[in-house]
Structure formats: structure tokens, C-alpha cells
């Protein structure tokens, strides 16, 4: 039986790599939406990560008539009342030129976060990454899962691995920033890794039922 193709609704190579690594034990082929279609990104109208993931999965599944896996994830900083939250990827949109490359946006986001926390004591710099994923087919949502990753916001960036806020996200249990962790280690403890592993468990059951004719 040929692998079931799942279209990942992102052009972010970091997300594609992380999700593909977690799903590699299943009979699925993970491809990026950019490989099969040139579609405008949908507007994110949800007020939660879960709503945005669901909306994106449905949008791309409807447009491609394939199974599409979408995620919405971001950083919640306690001292900032949960910001940047669902605006994590566009936190610095007021200072970055439209169309700026991902590295430029990441640097601007990190700089804005550090400025916002400049006077916040170390003990109050607690934060977490949150990830919600949703798999949809042409007829609607099939599977949803989520995960969290606890840490604190450091005062200076460290490490060259990962992307986004990883250089500032210090993980006390590891004694290192997320961007200093090897990919395998990060995937084992990260919000996305946890969400996708839970999704993988649910997907394995779904594929088994589909193969046996229960779906």
C-alpha cells in the first residue's frame, strides 16, 4: 500500500523538517504546500492557536482536495499577559518592511521581545511555546492535537539551531536555550514535537481504521 500523502500547510522549512522527523515511522509522505500549489495564505481570524490551525487546515484541504496538516504555534510570556501569543510570527510587523525574509523578521521579533522585557526580573520571565495542529480532508477536520514547552526568556540570544524565538527561549531543565539543543533533543521536548507525537498516535489509529474499512 502506497503511503498516504499529507500536505503540510506551511512554507517554513523548519516546521516541515520537525514534523517530517516525528512522522517518519508512519506510512505517510509529508510534502510542503509550496511543492504542489501556489495559494495565498488564508487570513488568521481565530482568537486561539487551535482555531487558527483548524481554519488553515480546512482552507488548504478544500483548495487541494488532499489531506492537509496545519499548525498554529507561538510564544506566551506571562509578564506580557500572554503576548505575543497568536501574533508571535508578526509581533514586529509594525517595524519590519512587508516581504522581509524570515531571518530578518525573527531578529526583529526577538529584539522587540527583549525591549518589552527589559525591566522584568529574571524570576518573572517565565514563558511557554504552544502548538496546536489540525489535519483536515476535503470533508472537514479529521484529527486535532496540542502541546506545550515551558521555559524562560533569556536576556541575550544563544545558539544557532532552530528558528523564531528559540535563541531567547531558555530551558532550565536542559541548561540551554532551545536554539542550542540538537534537533533530535529539541523535537523530543518541544511544543511542536509533543503536539505532533500526539497527532502521530491519533493518526496511526485513524490509518489503521481506514485500512480495515472502519472509516
CATH code of the domain covering residue 43: 3.90.950.10
- From residue 62, alpha-carbon distances to 57, 67, 132, 215 in Å are 8, 9, 20, 19
Which residue out of 38, 43, 72, 122 is catalytically annotated? Answer: 72
pLDDT of the residue at 215 = 57
Query: For residue 34, what are the domain limits?
Result: 4-211
pTM over 0.85: yes
pLDDT of the residue at 66 = 94
User: How many domains does one find in the chain?
Assistant: 1
pLDDT of the residue at 122 = 95
pLDDT band at 37 (very low <50, low <70, confident <90, very high): confident
Residue labelled with grid coordinates 502521530: 200
Write out pLDDT tens, residues 66-113. 999 999 999 999 999 999 999 999 999 988 888 888 899 999 999 999
CB-neighbour burial class of residue 189 (10 A; exposed 0-12, middle 13-18, buried 19+): middle
Query: Which residues have a Cβ under 8 Å from the Cβ of 51 and sit 6 or more positions away?
Result: 45, 72
81 is catalytic: no
pLDDT of the residue at 2 = 74
Amino acid at each position: 500500500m502506497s503511503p498516504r500523502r499529507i500536505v503540510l500547510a506551511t512554507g517554513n522549512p523548519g516546521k516541515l523538517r520537525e514534523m517530517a522527523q516525528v512522522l517518519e515511522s508512519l506510512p505517510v509522505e509529508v510534502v510542503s504546500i509550496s511543492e504542489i500549489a501556489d495559494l495565498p495564505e488564508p487570513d488568521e481570524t481565530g482568537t486561539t492557536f487551535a482555531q487558527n490551525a483548524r481554519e488553515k487546515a480546512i482552507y488548504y484541504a478544500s483548495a487541494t482536495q488532499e489531506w492537509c496538516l496545519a499548525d498554529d504555534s507561538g510564544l506566551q510570556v506571562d509578564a506580557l499577559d500572554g503576548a505575543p501569543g497568536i501574533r508571535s510570527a508578526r509581533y514586529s510587523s509594525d517595524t519590519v518592511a512587508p516581504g522581509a525574509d524570515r531571518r530578518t523578521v525573527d531578529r526583529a521579533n526577538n529584539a522587540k521581545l527583549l525591549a518589552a522585557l527589559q525591566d522584568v526580573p529574571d524570576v518573572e520571565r517565565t514563558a511557554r511555546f504552544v502548538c496546536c495542529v489540525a489535519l483536515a480532508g476535503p470533508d472537514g477536520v479529521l484529527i486535532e492535537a496540542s502541546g506545550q514547552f515551558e521555559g524562560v526568556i533569556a536576556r541575550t540570544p544563544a545558539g544557532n539551531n532552530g528558528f523564531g524565538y528559540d535563541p531567547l527561549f531558555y530551558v532550565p531543565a536542559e541548561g540551554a536555550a532551545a536554539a542550542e539543543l540538537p534537533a533530535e533533543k529539541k523535537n523530543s521536548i518541544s511544543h511542536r514535537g509533543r503536539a505532533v507525537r500526539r497527532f502521530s498516535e491519533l493518526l496511526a489509529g485513524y490509518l489503521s481504521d481506514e485500512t480495515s474499512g472502519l472509516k
